[in-house]
Structures are given as C-alpha cells and as structure tokens.
Structure 1
Amino acid sequence: MAAPADSPGTADGQTAGRRRAADGDGHRCRGLQAPAEGNHGTPRQSAFAVVDPLPTLVLVGREDALTPPALAQEIAGGIAGSRLEIIADCGHLSTLERPEPVNQALRTWLSG
C-alpha cells in the first residue's frame, strides 16, 4: 500500500503540508488525537455526549493521513448507534477526491 501522501488521487500530502505550515506542526490536529491517546475530559469527549443521541455518520477516506480510519473508528465507537463508512482510494478531501462514493454513502445513510 502506498503512503497516503503518495496515493494517486489524494490531496493529503498537500493538505498536510499546508496545515503543518499554518499551525506549527499540527497544533490544531492534536485535539483530534486526544481521545485516541487516552486524554479524557477533552472538548471532543464532551462533544460525544451531545451527539450521542443523534443519528451520526462518520465518513473517512481509507488513505486519510490527517484523520486516519483508526481515529474515525474510535469516533464512531464513541457515538452510540453511529455508522462508519470508509471510502476506498480516498484521502482527507473525500468529497473532492471520490464524490460518487461519498454521495452514495450519504444517500444511503439519509434514506435510513
């Protein structure tokens, strides 16, 4: 499997580079990683309590380097009744990289 930044059709390499340049090596991304690293009581943990009773679709690209599928699985696992959809051959910008599978996943989820 190619590294996410090298995967054809993904924009993760460019996006990750811009994000690192903009926020000092991913400072803003650290909040996304907190639950995966066992940091409890974060704002994200509080957000789980708010969305827990709501229908939730967690959608991620299989080659997403910024929000990897393992983190998406943890997010989905923290929301009761949520659905996880992993889009193949796709990085972080799923709606741009693979619009048809993303749209199909959304249609399926919305039709319940």
Structure 2
Amino acid sequence: MGFLDKAKAAANELAAKADTALASSGLGGPGGASGGDADKYLHDLGVLTYLELSGRPVPPGERDRVLGELRSLDDRGAIRSWALHTAPPPAPGAAGFPPPP
C-alpha cells in the first residue's frame, strides 16, 4: 500500500470517527439525524403555513408539534442556518450596501 493509499485510509477513518462523535453529541453532521430533522420540520412548518394561508384545513395540533420540535432543535444548536434558500439575489451593484442619499 502506497503512501497516498495510507493517507486516504487514515482520512476516511478520521472522518468516520468525527461523524460518529457529532451524531452521538446530538449536533448532527453530514448525514446526521439532527440536521436532517431540522430540514424536515422546517419543510413541514412551511407546508402548514401555506395550507393555513390558502384557507385549507390543517390537522389540529400539528403546528404546535412542529414548532415545539424546531424550538428543541434550535436550543440544541442543531439548526445550521436560518438563511433563505429562495431569496432573490441583490440587484447588480447593490452588494448589500444601502442606496446613496
């Protein structure tokens, strides 16, 4: 086994140990349960909100259940980002700066 093969095997072993440690700590990691759970609950909250706003029935208690789980995940630091994924890009030249006076 060459040097690069040994280095790759060591890196893979280290990555597996890190994933296991993150998953057992409740923080999740790539493929960890917590991050995926947060994504699922955020999706469900969006669905429930859309149903409510469009006048469709929502199962009783579902909004409270989903919000409770999201609060728990947030308290544990399991939600990695609150960034909007579908927000439009800034106008050309805006770069996030306020407009001139």
The alignment's TM-score, normalised by the length of structure 1, stands at 0.24
Larger RCO, structures 1/2 (Cα 8 Å, 6+ apart): 1
More strand by share: 1
More helix by share: 2
